[in-house]
Structure formats: structure tokens, C-alpha cells
Chain A
């Protein structure tokens, strides 16, 4: 990572739930404007990783810095204001609030006058949202909700967007749409950290990827490298590189 300054740097991160280790010794960086994905099977610690960055859980050890400043012990609301937006697992729509209200909440931290225009922009850019602006968000389909929460997260003008399993529970054609949307976000200067069980898509769209398993990074590399990597299956499924079961 010599040509771009890293926006987000995670060093030797460890997170425990009580006595149970969820993450150990994780190193990860996201550069400005980069799209990075983290893939791994269920229970690998992917959600915990994003939760640690977003301030939902406290690390037991290790460092998380964003733009050079540590995020550890920062309350969630403050991390949002530093420019990090998380789209949580399961999308996290506020079901009884309308689509429009959800979007307005996305802009909670902003006080500038452009908010209204931005909201209108997204309502036009996503016609479904525009058409349903006054309906309770809980009535939208899975794919529509995903559009809503991404638009909602973008309304905060984040520098880093965290996405937790955006394809979860969605039909394949809908996943296509979501990933097209993610692709369209490139080139806006936005960094994206994307976490997925669905490795195929995530690896193809991201600039760089990490494979997480059992709370540790098993493999990492740029797009072309990692897709073709001989040990990818082993890393993903928890086998040691030479075929035996990996020690945790």
C-alpha cells in the first residue's frame, strides 16, 4: 500500500464476546477511493469486524485508525460524524417509518442546506423509493429495502461506507441490481468496505479482498491475485494451506 494513503487501518485487532474470541490478530487496510471486500463463511467474524469499526463492540486489543485518528472507545454517534456509515446486516430499515423519513434520518448529522436536494436526488435516482416515499419502509421488498438503506447511508456523505452482507436473503436478479448499484458508487471518492458470505460477487467487484475464517485473516490480495489463488478454497473453508484442518 505505498501509492495511496490508507484511510482505514486495522492493526492486530482482537474482539472477544465474554471468553469467546471472535477476532484475533486481524490486519486490514482500506485506501481512499478503494473498494475492499472481506469474505468468509458464517461465523468467521465478518460482522464483528464491521461492528468494531462502527463502534458497536469494543476491541479487546489492537488498533483501528481512520484518517490517522483512533476509533477505539469512540461512541457510535461520533464515528458516524467522522465519516463512516454502516449498513447493518439485515438492512436495518426503520420499518414503521416511511421511506422519506428513513432518508431524512440518513441526513441527521448534516445541517447544510443541500439535504433536501440530496434526498430528492435519491428519490429520483431510485424510482421505487420515489414512488413509495410515504409508505412504511417495512412494506418494501428486500431489494428495495437494500436500495433504501444504501441511499440512507450515502445521505450522510460518508468517506467510508461499510456494508454487511448486502446480498443476504435476496434473489439472484436482485443481487445483480444491488451490485450494479455498488459498482456505480465507484469513482465518487467513496471508500467501501464490503463484507459477504457470497464470495464470488464480492471478490469480483472489489479492488482488494481479504478471506476471514475463524476470526483470522487467512488470505488477502488484489482482485486478480486472489480469485486465481490456489489456496483460496482452503482459506475460505478453514483448511490449512496444505490441506489439514487449520488450527484456530
Chain B
């Protein structure tokens, strides 16, 4: 009984962690630009493919490659696709990021086939370890640890560095931040770079978990990330992470509580649960102040 509970807990935190990290990547960019970046999923995919390409080399090289590609791609897409649209309304930004995402996917498919490819990355993490007489997968522990470290690191960066302060200011009120001299271009590029790093971290863990890369691998993660940011409260980073953990928990709980034949519908039920949460609290759990316009 205890081991089931611990297993569920570990699963929930591990999965929730991946969702939370992805949601943070989305949330950071939404904060400074009011843009929901569909292409974030393609950052994850790109990083995943780098892991696939470099898995044969050392682990460090693969990780470095994934980080580099994701960060570069993020910054480049901002410069080329989103900067010209900076003054556009949120609906146009949303459609644009969707179009960009499709473009990146289809272009990737032109170069690699659309078939999934197997990756043998960090297979040693697949083994079970025993903690407090409970068997858990080492990879899940690593995922939780990496998530924790990343969250703490990001938090420290935002609260205690100059760049972090500028980013928070820009997210709170972009114009006032600029009036104080915060450089818009730099802050936004920075947000994209960080979101690229987050995407890479998620891709590395996800690829190690699933052992597969395919052109749409980022999709299930970002779909959850989108709804997580909405449940958590658009514009609120803590809310985004919280939303990610919440969806992860709901997902894992449903997996263990649902009768066998309903388990295939788990994803759908998770989203139905999300919609119910939104019915009760349309503005999200932790709404950000400053999002509503002054009359």
C-alpha cells in the first residue's frame, strides 16, 4: 500500500516536473510578450533530435548539443519571426506562433522522415533503485532532482540578479520597464534563450524516458503546458509551474484510479478536468496582476 502511494507520488512529481518546466518556458515568453509560443514544442523536438544524433558520443556532448540547438533556435525564431510582430495583438501572435510551429515541423520532416527513431540515451538510468523499501526508477528521481534544481536556479535568477529583475519588470509592465531604461530587445531575447534552455532540459529527460524521437515529440508536452499556464493563471510564473504539477498529479492519479478500460481516455479526462477547473475559476488559480487593462 505504502509503495503504491510512494510510486504514485514519485510518478506525479516526475511527470509534473516535466510539465512544470515546459509551462515555465511558455510562461516566461508570455510574460514579456503576451505570446503563447506554439513553437516551444519544436524547440523540444530539435533538442531531442540533437540527443539522438549525439547519443553515441559522451553524455556531456549530447547535453551540450541539445542545449545549444534549442537556445540558438529560440533566439533566432524570436529575431526573425516574432520581433517584427511585437506590436501585434495577442490573437495574431498566437496564430503566428502556430504557423511557425507547423513550418518548423514540416521543414524538419523534409530533412528527416516523419517516422519515429529509437534513441538509446542514458540507459543506465532505467534501472530501479530502492528508497525506503520502495522501488522507483532512477530516471524519475533524476527528473525530480533536475526539475528541482532548475526551478530553484530560475527562481534565484529572477529574484536576485539584475537581468532577472529586468525580466520581471518587463513582464509586469513592459512600457514602464522601457521608460526606466530596460532594453526591450535584450530582455525578450533573454527570455527566449532561457525558454530554449528549459526546452532542452525537458527534451533530454523526455528522450531518456521514452527512448524515441519523432517530429512531433514536443506536442503532448506543450499542449499540457498551455493548459497548465492557463489553469495556473496566465502571466504568473509560479502559477504556470503549479499548473504543471497539478496536471501531472491529475494525470497520474487518473492513471491509477481509473478502471482498466477507461485508461485509454485518460488524456481526455485530464483535459476535461482542466476545463472544469477553468469553469470554476476562469482567471486561473493565481492570476497575475497587471494583466487587465486600465480603463
- Chains A and B directly touch (beta carbon < 8 Å): yes
Contacting residues of chain B (159-183) with chain A, CB-CB under 8 angstroms: 162, 165-166, 168-169, 172-173, 175-183
The smallest C-beta distance from B208 to any residue of chain A, in angstroms, reads 36
Q: Chain B contact residues (Cβ within 8 angstroms of A): what range? A: 20 to 34
* Given contact pairs A77-B178, A104-B165, A105-B165, A96 touches B183 in the complex (Cβ within 8 A): no
Q: Contacts A88-B176, A97-B169, A97-B172: A80 and B294 contacting too (C-beta < 8 A)? A: no
Report the minimum CB–CB distance from B186 to chain A (whole Å).
Answer: 9
The dominant DSSP class at the B interface is helix
| Residues in B whose Cβ lies below 8 Å from that of A104 | 165
A77-B184, A105-B169 as given contacts; A54 in contact with B289, CB under 8 Å: no
Q: Answer whether residue A86 sits at the interface, using C-beta atoms and an 8 A cutoff.
A: yes
- Inter-chain contacts of A56 with B (CB < 8 A): 175, 179
A residues near B183, Cβ cutoff 8 Å:
77
Q: Which residues of A contact B179 (CB under 8 A)?
A: 54, 56, 76, 80, 85-86, 88, 92
CB distance from A169 to the nearest CB of B (A): 12
The answer for the CA separation of A160 and B79 in the assembled complex, in Å, is 33
Asked if residues A108 and B180 are in contact (CB atoms below 8 Å), the reply is yes
The answer, yes or no, to whether B290 is at the interface (CB within 8 Å) is: yes
Report which of B162, B177, B294 forms a contact with A94, defined as CB distance below 8 A. B177
The listed residue (A54, A92, A101) touching B165 by CB distance below 8 A is A101
CA distance A77 to B179 in the complex (A): 6
Is the Cβ of A105 less than 8 Å from the Cβ of B180?
yes
Q: Is B176 a contact partner of A108 (Cβ separation < 8 A)?
A: no
Whether B182 and A105, one on each chain, are in contact in the complex, defined by CB atoms closer than 8 angstroms, is: yes
* Interface: A106 (CB within 8 A): yes
**Residues of A with C-beta under 8 A to B184:** 75-77
Which residues A72-104 have CB closer than 8 A to chain B?
75-77, 80-81, 85-86, 88, 90, 92, 94-97, 101, 104
Evaluate whether A97 and B168 lie within 8 angstroms (CB atoms) in the complex, with A86-B179, A105-B182, A152-B180 already known: yes
**A165 CB, min distance to chain B CBs, angstroms:** 14
**What's the least CB distance linking B156 to chain A, in Å?**
15
Distance from B165 Cβ to chain A, minimum over Cβ atoms (Å): 6
Question: CA–CA, A235 to B294, complex, Å?
Answer: 30
B176 touches A92 (CB 8 A): yes
B165 adjacent to A156 (CB under 8 Å): no
A 149-190 contacts with B by CB, 8 A: 152, 156
Interchain CA distance A80-B184 in the complex, whole Å: 13
Residues of A near B176 (CB, < 8 A) are 88, 92, 94
A-B contact pairs, 22 of them (CB 8 A): A56-B179, A76-B175, A76-B178, A76-B179, A77-B181, A77-B182, A80-B181, A88-B175, A88-B179, A90-B294, A94-B168, A94-B177, A96-B289, A96-B290, A97-B172, A101-B165, A101-B168, A101-B169, A105-B180, A108-B166, A109-B180, A138-B289
Known: A77-B183, A97-B169, A104-B165. 6 other contacts (CB 8 A): A80-B178, A85-B179, A92-B179, A105-B177, A108-B181, A152-B180
